[in-house]
Amino acid sequence: MKSSAAAESLPRLTAGERTRQSILDVAVDLASVEGLDGLTIGRLATELDMSKSGLFAHFGSKEELQLATIEAAKHRFAAEVVAPALKAKRGLPRLSALCKEWIGYGQDSVFPGGCFFAAAAAEFDSRPGLVRDRIAEAMDQWIDMLRIAVRKAIEEGDLLSSIDSEQLAFEINAMLMAANFDFQLHDDKKAFDRAKKGIDRLLHHASA
């Protein structure tokens, strides 16, 4: 069977890139459980049964490894939450899809330790530096996505024009974060159902 032109145009990963990607898949899972600060070259080498020198060929320092892990986590989040939600129609359907996909992402433990970014934010929120900045940037991008989705829903006439997009996005995200917290800390199996009910109520009251 012949490959499509689009498929043929996609760049192929080199062996080194594939190895780096595999390493980061493990690093993301490990960091989501043990924290980014516990993610060292030595710890990862033990987990992968690799030599430290082999890992140093891909990541020259602990910070470089942490930053690459955050980037890999962003790609996984985008694939699991953002990409499916963007298939929904612009307006309230897309806003609802973003919430639905995030809840599914939390329930399905896409990251073994729960939401990677919620855990990383709690770990680094009072620790200035490049790692903290990258985590904040990722969280800001998610909130911006919610804000934009709310504004588009207002433009489409799905939500009341009086709705404060900043406030609604904040409240939606707060419910998602609370559900992740209860699910992880208390093993509350109903946490995400409560978040869904709360978000549905918010959107119902905001609907035009």
pLDDT digits (tens, 9 = 90+) for 187-201: 999 999 999 999 999
How many structural domains compose the chain?
A: 1
Question: Within a domain: residue 57?
Answer: no
CATH number at residue 194: 1.10.357.10
Question: Within a domain: residue 30?
Answer: no
pLDDT beyond 90 at 9: no
pLDDT beyond 90 at 60: no
Among all chains, which residue has been given the structure tokens 């980014």? 36
Question: Within a domain: residue 145?
Answer: yes
Query: What's the confidence (pLDDT) of residue 65?
Result: 95
pLDDT beyond 80 at 153: yes
- Mean of the per-residue pLDDT values of the chain: 92
Angle, helix 130-155 to helix 92-107, in steps of 10 degrees: 140
Q: Which residues contact 207 (CB under 8 A, 6 or more apart)?
A: 92, 158, 159, 160
Question: Within a domain: residue 174?
Answer: yes
CA distances from 77 to 72, 142, 165 (A): 9, 10, 23
Q: Which residues contact 10 (CB under 8 A, 6 or more apart)?
A: none
Question: Within a domain: residue 1?
Answer: no
Where residue 2 falls among pLDDT bands split at 50, 70, 90?
Answer: very low
Supply the range of the domain harboring residue 200: 66-206
Question: Within a domain: residue 39?
Answer: no
